[in-house]
A and B are shown apart, each in its own frame.
Chain A
Amino acid sequence: MTVSKLQRYNWILVVLGLTSGCSSTFEPWVKPYERDNLADPIMSMNRNPVSSSYTNHVYQAREGARGAEGGAGGGCGCN
């Protein structure tokens, strides 16, 4: 592998270096036992998927905008 090819892939090393530090030392500021409220269904961005999917369809058919519907999912890992 030439020096230029090594340079091309050094971005992987950069991220690996940064992330290895993060993953080994990272302490979540909201502990698993503090996530009762986040796990409550009333905090879900998609509590009723059949109803929200229908609502998105109704608006999409009548508006010019489209995309980025609904949330990206739960963030507490506690479905």
Chain B
Amino acid sequence: MELGADVAVIRQKMKSPQGTVRRLIIRLVFACIILGLFVWQASAAVLPQDRSDAMYHSYEGGGISIDGPSILLRKKIGNKVSVSANYYVDTISGASIDVLATASPYSEERTENSVGVDFLHNKTLMSVNYTSSSENDFEAESFHLGVSQDFFGDLTTLTLGYSKGNDEVGKTGDDSFLELAERHNYQIGITQVITKNMILGLSVENISDQGFLNNPYRSVRFLDPNTERGYSFESELYPNTRKSNAAAITANYYLPYRASVYGEAKIFSDSWGIQANTYKLGYIHTFGDDWIVELRARHYQQDKADFYQDLYTRSAEFNFRARDKEMSTFNNLSLGLSVSYEFQFSTDSLLKKSTLNLDFEHVNFDYDDFRNVLSNASTEVVPVGTEPLYQFSANITRLYLSIFY
């Protein structure tokens, strides 16, 4: 009877000139979200587990080396609050091909600090997080607010998130250079238990930027018959707004011999014309109670931004110009391996367990319209615009100790 009345209301709404079906659907989605958070209180939201992680990370590839530590501490205070803090450092040396073509190798350091608090209130989990990042020519800070709720007998978890970030962009060697940018992220995610062995996840994120979005060190190249090599470089010029949408679907499946497989497919598009997709596949295997081994593969492909070109025919050819290889058409394939060893402590110990982990990834990048202008330095000179396409590989390593208490 109640349902019949609801259907009648919907029909009446669909017939009325103002109440379009689209508006009704949007209202229903928002109503579900709001009511999901405040009506279904019979849930089992839980605070994150107490843990500490100490990690050494390293990235080697494309002419640059980045390494440093990352320390995470997380601890519950009572039954309703959990606090966390993360300290992270990138020590960068060398130079990528973008820099080598126009400048000299460099070294610098980036330090990132973040603090967060999770609240469990009426079985709804809320999180607040603040992150600041500092390097000699770039300052960034961001604030994140998230809400998570289980409902439908804890089979469904809904997560909503909002972040705001502010960047201050400087330039080494030019003290008067200071530009600003701000960013808004809106996230929504749903995780659904399908069977006792399978979970599906869907997450969607909208990001909008406004301000100075260039890299101040990157340049575009254009044909210049007045130079010996036939081309020159000038500064990039990006639009000062960008909006992007990404949607990912994930699936995890538990195999009968304590192993699991997972997959992820993600699509992305933005207002600059970049379209991308990512596919991930992984297999996790256990040996006894102590060893966990994971094998994974990831493939990423993107189409270039509308204003990207490897070579412009003249200086200032278009209003917006980019030759940042991250804006070009390219793909990469990564293969990864992780090994974890778990130490169990006695039940009366303060510490519950500890894991020692090694993660390794090898990635190959292949660019379709970004040419290696440095190749002329060692081989025979080729006409401008016909240099070999750029490609490189990188190794990513993480070694870390996790303690659970």
Q: Which residues of A contact B (CB under 8 A)?
A: 10-23, 26-30, 32, 34-35, 37-38, 40-43, 45, 48-51, 54-55, 58-59, 61-79
Quick one: which of B9, B35, B42 contacts A19, CB cutoff 8 A?
A: B35
**Nearest Cβ distance between residue B368 and chain A, in whole angstroms?**
13
Q: Are A68 and B203 in contact (CB under 8 A)?
A: yes
Quick one: which of A14, A50, A72 contacts B157, CB cutoff 8 A?
A: A72
Chain A residue numbers with a CB within 8 Å of B305 are 64
Q: Are B9 and A13 in contact (CB under 8 A)?
A: yes
Quick one: which of B5, B195, B402 contacts A48, CB cutoff 8 A?
A: B402
Q: Are A65 and B48 in contact (CB under 8 A)?
A: no
Quick one: which of A21, A30, A71, A73 contacts B195, CB cutoff 8 A?
A: A30
The residue in chain B whose Cβ has the minimal distance to the Cβ of A71 is: B201
Quick one: which of B49, B148, B258, B365 contacts A73, CB cutoff 8 A?
A: B148
Q: Are B302 and A75 in contact (CB under 8 A)?
A: no
- Tell me the B11-44 residues at the A interface (CB within 8 Å): 13, 24, 27-28, 31-32, 35, 39-40, 42-44
Does B341 belong to the interface (CB within 8 Å)? no
Tell whether A21 pairs with B2 under 8 Å between CB atoms, given A37-B197, A63-B326, A65-B268: yes
Stretch of B134-142, B244-252, B370-378 lying at the A interface = B244-252
Q: List 11 A-B pairs, Cβ < 8 Å.
A: A11-B27, A17-B3, A34-B196, A35-B193, A42-B284, A50-B86, A55-B361, A68-B203, A68-B248, A78-B44, A79-B49
**Nearest Cβ distance between residue B343 and chain A, in whole angstroms?**
14
Chain A residue numbers with a CB within 8 Å of B5 are 17
The residue in chain B whose Cβ has the minimal distance to the Cβ of A75 is: B191
Question: Given A38-B197, A45-B191, list of 10 further CB < 8 A pairs?
Answer: A11-B28, A16-B39, A19-B35, A28-B153, A35-B196, A42-B259, A45-B199, A48-B359, A67-B244, A72-B203
Cα–Cα distance between A33 and B38 once the two chains are bound (Å): 26
Q: Are B59 and A58 in contact (CB under 8 A)?
A: yes
**Nearest Cβ distance between residue A9 and chain B, in whole angstroms?**
10
Task: Pick the most buried of A16, A50, A66, A79: most chain B CB atoms within 10 A of its CB.
Answer: A50
Cα–Cα distance between A76 and B200 once the two chains are bound (Å): 11
The residue in chain B whose Cβ has the minimal distance to the Cβ of A20 is: B2
The residue in chain A whose Cβ has the minimal distance to the Cβ of B365 is: A62
The residue in chain B whose Cβ has the minimal distance to the Cβ of A50 is: B53
The residue in chain B whose Cβ has the minimal distance to the Cβ of A15 is: B31
Q: Are A65 and B276 in contact (CB under 8 A)?
A: yes
Chain A residue numbers with a CB within 8 Å of B286 are 42
Q: Are A67 and B185 in contact (CB under 8 A)?
A: yes
Q: Are A58 and B396 in contact (CB under 8 A)?
A: yes
